[in-house]
Amino acid sequence: MTDARVSLQDLKQKMAEFVRERDWEQFHTPKNISMSIAIEAAELMEHFQWLTVEQAQQPDAAALAEIGEELADIVIYSLSMANILKLDLAQTVLNKMEKNIRKYPADKVQGKAHKYTYYQDQDSSEC
């Protein structure tokens, strides 16, 4: 199976079955899952903590496998959160991307890394 062949719905269903088979619904609350996402994100960051930019861009095979597992944990918990809150994750992501397109217009942000408020401040100072 690959990204091109597995849908978000398939993954959400697999996660729901995993949780249900273990009777973990009682523990999978938005509070607990949000904390789990943060913990897994911190574990992902640990892999890059003391690396240079160059080293971080070229992990060896073992490090890449471990990084992939941490990223998978984040996605897994995110799928569980979507299940709990009955979010259509694909639509939520598409809506957020539309919002980001408006917040970060390509013609203004090309090659820049400022927060979107910087560009709003620039617009108001041009008036």
Task: Say what the pTM is.
Answer: 0.85
Same domain, 114 and 59: no
Confidence (pLDDT) at 115: 83
Q: What angle do CA 53, 59, 63 make, to 5 degrees?
A: 130
**Residue 116 near residue 55 (C-beta atoms within 8 A):** no
Confidence (pLDDT) at 108: 87
Same domain, 10 and 63: yes
Same domain, 76 and 96: no
pLDDT band, very low/low/confident/very high, at 119 (cuts 50, 70, 90) = confident
Same domain, 83 and 126: no
Same domain, 74 and 63: yes
Range of the domain at 16: 1-87
